[in-house]
């Protein structure tokens, strides 16, 4: 069974909001949980760790890795895995996740999450790398569906079929990013609603919502997964469609560029809470931590 976060709205924690999430004044808004990129905390000490120690004492914590590069042909990034294992020992996070991607080879590291081919060989390789992570961390992890800008000619299965098979074979769960569904579906020509409907709620341990940028070209629109704006109307509708079927799930507002004021971020969290509450059997939104 997957470890669990509360089925409420969380935020991607940024240093500019450290003080806000610890604000104890009357009327202060608080998320239900927080998530950080562990690669930002690989140092042994300093202000970042002092803040995270204080915050993790109040909120459930999720570690969302961006550097394991599980799809690399040479295997995962062993340095990052050891550092994440150290952070798990130190902070005991409720969840750990990474991406359905690769971002390096034996000689170079790339600042991007690159797509993998959807073949049986790729499935077997990726499953083996997840097993290495789960054995080292002694816990199941989540893998996030990608935002894609291309498809491989030799793909042997669709993305949702690949994800379902991966979760079964590796014993992991899915971090279901709805913004990535809109981005990928628009860029490579998939049916967004069919994609959402194909995902088994039982494998979903966490969800992400974010904004994206749009470029209009003669060939059609190109969506860029920049996490730099409010969640789009399309993504909200797809999210509500999934929650209506799945029930409440831990849901993160992800905002990594052009970081807004805390109140703007929490307004997006309020939208999450309204949708979760409407499908939880409760009359009031989930209680917030703080």
pLDDT (tens digit per residue) in 193-223: 999 999 999 999 999 999 999 999 998 899 9
Under 8 Å between Cβ of 115 and 150: yes
% of the chain with per-residue pLDDT over 70: 93
Number of CB atoms found within 10 A of residue 120's CB: 11
How far is the first Cα of the chain from the last one, in angstroms, to the nearest whole number?
Answer: 28
Give the H/E segment covering residue 233: helix 233-246
**CA 268 from centre of chain:** 16
pLDDT over threshold 70, residue 289: no
pLDDT over threshold 70, residue 250: yes
Q: What is the mean pLDDT of residues 186-191?
A: 96
For the question of whether the overall pTM of this predicted structure is more than 0.85, the answer is yes
| CA atoms within a 13 Å half-sphere pointing along the CA-CB vector of 152 | 13
Our CA dihedral for 215, 218, 221, 222, rounded to 10 degrees, sits at -60
pLDDT over threshold 70, residue 2: no
> How far apart (Å, rounded) are the C-alpha atoms in residues 273 and 279?
10
Long-range contacts of 236-240 (CB under 8 A, 24+ apart): 236/209, 236/271, 236/275, 238/178, 238/181, 238/182, 238/192, 238/193, 238/196, 239/178, 239/207, 239/209, 239/275, 240/275
**CA 27 from centre of chain:** 29
User: In residues, how long is the chain?
Assistant: 290
Under 8 Å between Cβ of 71 and 45: no
Q: Which residues of 27-45 are buried (b: 16+ CB within 10 A; e: fewer)?
A: eebbbbbbbbebbebeeee
Q: What is the mean pLDDT of residues 56-77?
A: 95
Question: In the prediction, which pLDDT does 147 show?
Answer: 95
């Amino acid at each position: 069974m997957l470890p669990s976060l509360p089925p409420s709205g969380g935020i991607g924690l940024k240093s500019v909001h450290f003080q806000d999430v610890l604000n104890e004044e009357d009327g202060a808004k608080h998320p239900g949980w927080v998530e950080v990129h562990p690669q930002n905390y690989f140092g042994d000490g300093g202000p970042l760790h002092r803040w995270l120690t204080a915050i993790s004492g109040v909120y459930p914590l999720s570690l969302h890795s961006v550097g394991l590069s599980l799809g690399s042909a040479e295997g995962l990034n062993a340095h990052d895995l050891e550092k994440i294992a150290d952070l798990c020992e130190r902070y005991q996070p409720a969840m750990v996740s990474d991406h359905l991607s690769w971002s390096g080879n034996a000689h170079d590291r790339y600042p991007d999450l690159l797509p993998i081919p959807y073949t049986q060989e790729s499935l077997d390789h990726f499953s083996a790398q997840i097993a290495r992570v789960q054995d080292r961390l002694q816990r199941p992890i989540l893998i996030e569906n990608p935002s894609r800008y291309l498809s491989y000619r030799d793909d042997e299965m669709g993305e949702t079929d690949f994800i379902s098979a991966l979760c079964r074979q590796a014993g992991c769960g899915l971090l279901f990013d709805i913004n990535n569904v809109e981005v990928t579906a628009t860029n490579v020509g998939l049916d967004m609603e069919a994609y959402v409907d194909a995902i088994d709620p039982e494998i979903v341990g966490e969800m992400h919502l974010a904004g994206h940028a749009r470029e209009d070209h003669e060939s059609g629109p190109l969506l860029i997964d920049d996490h730099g704006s409010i969640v789009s109307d399309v993504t909200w509708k797809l999210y509500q469609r999934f929650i209506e079927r799945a029930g409440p799930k831990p849901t993160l507002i992800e905002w990594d560029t052009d970081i807004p004021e805390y109140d703007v971020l929490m307004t997006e969290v309020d939208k999450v809470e309204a949708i979760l509450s409407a499908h939880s059997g409760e009359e009031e939104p989930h209680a917030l931590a703080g």
